[in-house]
Amino acid sequence: MSLATLEQSILAEIDAATDETALEAVRVAALGKKGTVSERMKALGGMSPDERREAGAALNLLKDRVTEAITARKTRLQDIALDARLAAEKIDVTLPARPQTSGTVHPVSQVWEEVVQIFGDLGFAVAEGPHIEDDFHNFDALNIPPEHPARQEHDTFFFHEKPDGSRMLLRTHTSPVQIRTMLASKPPIRIIAPGRTFRCDSDMTHTPMFNQVEGLVIDETTTLANLKWILAEFCKAFFEVDDVKMRFRASHFPFTEPSMEVDIQYSREGGQLKIGTGDKWLEILGSGMVHPNVIRAGGMDPERVQGWAFGVGLDRIAMLKYGIPDLRAFFEADLRWLRHYGFKALQVPTLAGGLSQ
């Protein structure tokens, strides 16, 4: 078969292809590894130099024309397919509009983001840790030895004993994240650790699973004055008030010394709680200087570094800020409750735009 006849045959097959699959089959049959044009190219090796030069040029021209024809046909087939799709996909503008989505952001998720925004602006990083912990990270490293009464107060969920007698547990606070961070980092450390915690307790203000955020600063010069300023700035930003009066009361936590509970001033007006005014006091968090034993457990020298920490319940401050009376409602998945207290999906909290706007 002459090259002219071969070209006419291939071009006829290209024009006859009705879709891209058929066109690809024509391309493979002509230009593929074992295609008719490729087989002609292989035969060039047995020709004399002059014959090879003349035949090679003719075959290359044939190959170029076939390739151009395939490209043009492919473009045409794509245009035909698009026209058919546009003709078939019609929109009936008389149909009623789709209802707006009714999903909302849970108040705890919203408050979580608000807290991260505030402390991020203050220079804190976010640290995370596992929900299932061991005795060392959850108790021992936090200065809570086996005989300590605080272990009973935590109402811990334990797993079955291992062959060596040890038992894993669901973390009772996010403080183990502090230990893991100290063991993995070097001062200065400035983190918050938000997350789920678990204790065997349930009433209007307690649930078996709840959310906490803890803060930790480890440095050579940090003091209680730094802690008080950070907490004051957090409360003003979170409750969105210009000023807030705080009261620091002496307390006891195994992992801090000295330890303090923090109260904020509030009043009730028209059945609503207002932060920063009035003559009543409300406890919101615990705090203190990190105990030297905890610093040692974190692999650091308490003679060289010191630090402070605090812990606050995300669920509790969400109840205070948004007037939610019962903690248990957070976990009941009642759509009516979620629609009432939830936030719009695009209502992302920012300090510049307002946390709860």
The domain that holds 160 is classified in CATH as 3.30.930.10
- Give the relative orientation of helices 224-239 and 107-121 as an angle to the nearest 10 degrees: 130
In this structure, the answer to whether residues 197 and 159 fall within a common structural domain is yes
In this structure, the answer to whether residues 72 and 166 fall within a common structural domain is no
In this structure, the answer to whether residues 164 and 261 fall within a common structural domain is yes
Cα–Cα distance between 23 and 40 in angstroms, integer?
A: 21
In tens digits, what is the pLDDT along the chain, a chain of 357 residues? 677 888 888 888 888 888 888 988 888 888 888 888 888 788 877 788 888 788 888 888 888 888 899 899 899 999 998 888 888 887 777 877 776 666 788 999 989 999 999 999 999 999 999 999 998 999 999 998 888 776 766 688 888 988 888 889 999 999 999 999 999 999 899 999 999 999 887 666 677 888 999 999 999 989 999 999 999 999 989 988 888 888 999 998 889 999 999 998 888 776 677 787 778 888 889 999 999 999 999 999 999 999 999 999 998 888 888 888 778 888 888 888 888 888 887 777 777 656 665
Residue 150 has what pLDDT?
67
- Is 98 part of any domain? no
Residue 37 belongs to what domain range?
A: 3-88
- Is 347 part of any domain? no
In this structure, the answer to whether residues 84 and 176 fall within a common structural domain is no
- Is 176 part of any domain? yes
Q: How many domains does the chain have?
A: 2
Burial class (CB in 10 A: 0-12, 13-18, 19+), 6: middle
The b/e string for 31-42 (b: 16+ C-beta within 10 A; e otherwise) is beeebbbbebbe
The tokens describing 186, both together, are 């070097």
Cα–Cα distance between 247 and 283 in angstroms, integer?
A: 9
- Is 147 part of any domain? yes
In the three-class reduction of DSSP (H, G, I as helix; E, B as strand; rest coil), residue 268 is classed as strand
Omega cis (within 30) before 145: no
In this structure, the answer to whether residues 197 and 231 fall within a common structural domain is yes
In this structure, the answer to whether residues 75 and 124 fall within a common structural domain is no
In this structure, the answer to whether residues 207 and 73 fall within a common structural domain is no
In this structure, the answer to whether residues 207 and 119 fall within a common structural domain is yes
- Is 352 part of any domain? no
Contacts of 9 (CB under 8 A, 6+ apart): 1
Cα–Cα distance between 193 and 311 in angstroms, integer?
A: 9
pTM of this structure: 0.66
- Is 67 part of any domain? yes
Nearest alpha carbon to residue 354 among 270, 343, 211: 343
Q: Where are the beta strands (DSSP E) in 189-322?
A: 189-198, 209-219, 246-253, 256-269, 272-275, 280-290, 306-313
